[in-house]
Chains A and B, each alone.
Chain A
Amino acid sequence: EPEVTQTPSHQVTQMGQEVILRCVPISNHLYFYWYRQILGQKVEFLVSFYNNEISEKSEIFDDQFSVERPDGSNFTLKIRSTKLEDSAMYFCASRQGTNQPQHFGDGTRLSIL
Chain B
Amino acid sequence: QKEVEQNSGPLSVPEGAIASLNCTYSDRGSQSFFWYRQYSGKSPELIMFIYSNGDKEDGRFTAQLNKASQYVSLLIRDSQPSDSATYLCAAEARTSYDKVIFGPGTSLSVIP
Contact = CB atoms under 8 A, between A and B. Distances in A.
B99 A103 contact: no
B102 A43 contact: yes
A52 to B, nearest CB: 14
A56 B99 contact: yes
A91 B98 contact: no
Given A43-B44, A104-B44, A106-B43, A99 B31 contact: yes
A42 B98 contact: no
What is the interface residue range for chain B against chain A?
20 to 34
Interface string B49-71: 10100000000000000000000
Contacts of A55: 98
What is the interface residue range for chain A against chain B?
20 to 34
9 contacts: A41-B104, A42-B88, A45-B100, A48-B98, A56-B99, A99-B51, A101-B46, A104-B43, A106-B43
Given A98-B97, A99-B31, 13 more contacts: A31-B98, A41-B104, A42-B104, A42-B105, A43-B44, A48-B98, A55-B98, A91-B44, A101-B34, A101-B46, A104-B44, A105-B43, A106-B42
Interface of A: 31, 33, 35, 41-45, 48, 50, 55-56, 58, 89, 91, 98-99, 101-107
Interface of B: 31-32, 34, 36, 42-46, 49, 51, 88, 90, 96-105
